[in-house]
Amino acid sequence: MISFILLCVGLALLVKGGGLFVDGSVSIARIWRIPPIVIGLTLVSIGTSLPELVVNLFAAGGGSTDLAIGNILGSNITNILLVLGICSAIYPLSVSKGTVSKEIPLAILATIALGFLANDAFFDGGVSMISRSDGLALLCFFSIFLYYIFELSRRARKDDAVGEDVEQKYTGGKAAVAILFGAALLGFGGKLAVDNAIILAIALNVPQSIIGLTIVAIGTSLPELVTSVIATMKRHSDIAIGNIVGSNIFNIFWILGVSAIVTPLPFAAMFTRDLLVALVASILLFLFMFLGKRDMLKHWQGLIFLGMYFGYVAVLVLQQVL
C-alpha cells in the first residue's frame, strides 16, 4: 500500500516537473533566441533522461546489467511507440525538416551502432557485451551529436530562425529556476516512481528482464511522456518531437556509454529482439514523415504506434506465461 502511494506521489511530481521544465525551456529559447528544436534536443532531453541515467548507474553499479540494458531499449521503444503514439493521437505533430533529415536518421544510426557493438558473438564468436571500449565509442558519438547541436543553434541564431510564436512565460532568472526545479522534480519523481514500481513488480514475481523492458522503461519514460504531452497540448511540436528523438540518442550514446564505463554490460541474446523492435520503430517514424502530408505525424500513425506498443508488451507477457 505504501509503495502504491509513493508511486502516485512520484507521478504527481513528474507532472509538475514536466510543466515547469517545458515552460522554462521555451522561455530560455525566446530569451537567447535559440530554436525550440534545439531546446528539445538538449535541455529537455537531458532533463527527461535523468531517471534513465540514475536507474542505469545504480543498476550497473549493483551488477543488475539486464535491468540496465532493458531499461534503455525499453525506454527507446516506449518513447516512440507509446509517447509519440499518445501525443500524435492528441494532436498531429508537425516536424521540422532538420529533424526528418538529420535527427531521426541519427537516432536510427545510434540503434544500429549499438547492435554492432553489442553483438560480439554474432560477428567474431566472442561473448556479447557492451565493453568499456564500446562505452567510450558511444561517448565519442555523443560528442559529435553535441557538436551538431551547437552548430545547429549557431546557424539558427545567425539566420534569425527562431520563431516569434513561441510563448515566453518566465523572465531569465525565473526561467532558469523553473528549469532547475523542474529537472529536480523530474529526477526525484522518476526515481520515486520507478523504485516503488519495481517493489510492486517483485512482489508479483515478475522477472528482471521484463521489469527492465516494461515497468522500469515506462517509469523512466514518464518524464518524456509528461513533457511531450504538455508540449503537444501547448502546440510546441518541435519540443515534443525533439524531446523524444533527443532522448533516444542520449539514452544510447550517453547513458549506455557511461553505464558501460562503470561496468561492462553483458548483452543477452534475448535483447536482440528488443533492439530490432527499437530499430523498426525508429525507421517507421522516419517513413511516416513521407506518407500523406509531409513532415507530420498524423492521428492514424499514432494509433499504429500504440497498437504496436501494446502488441509488443503482450508478446513479452505471453512469453513469460507460456
Please list the pLDDT of the chain residue by residue as tens digits (322 residues).
Answer: 788 788 788 878 877 887 787 778 778 777 777 766 677 667 667 776 777 777 788 778 777 788 889 889 999 999 999 999 999 988 888 877 767 778 899 999 999 999 999 988 877 777 899 999 999 999 999 999 888 877 776 776 565 554 444 455 677 688 888 888 888 888 788 778 777 877 877 787 777 667 778 877 887 787 778 878 888 887 777 777 877 888 899 899 999 999 999 899 999 887 889 999 999 999 999 999 888 778 789 999 999 999 999 999 999 888 776 6
Q: Domain 38-161+206-321 maps to which CATH number in 1.20.1420.30, 3.10.350.10, 1.10.150.110, 1.10.510.10?
A: 1.20.1420.30
Q: Domain limits of the chain?
A: 38-161+206-321
Give the span between the Cα atoms of 16 and 189, in whole angstroms: 9
Q: Which residue bears the cell 509528461?
A: 226
H helical segments located in 99-171: 104-118, 120-124, 132-158
* CA-to-CA dists, residue 276 to 25, 111, 119, 282, 284, angstroms: 33, 9, 12, 10, 12
Please state whether beta strands 129-130 and 265-266 pair in parallel, antiparallel, or not at all (unpaired). Answer: antiparallel
Are 232 and 87 in contact by the 8 Å Cβ rule? The answer is yes
Give the global pTM. 0.82
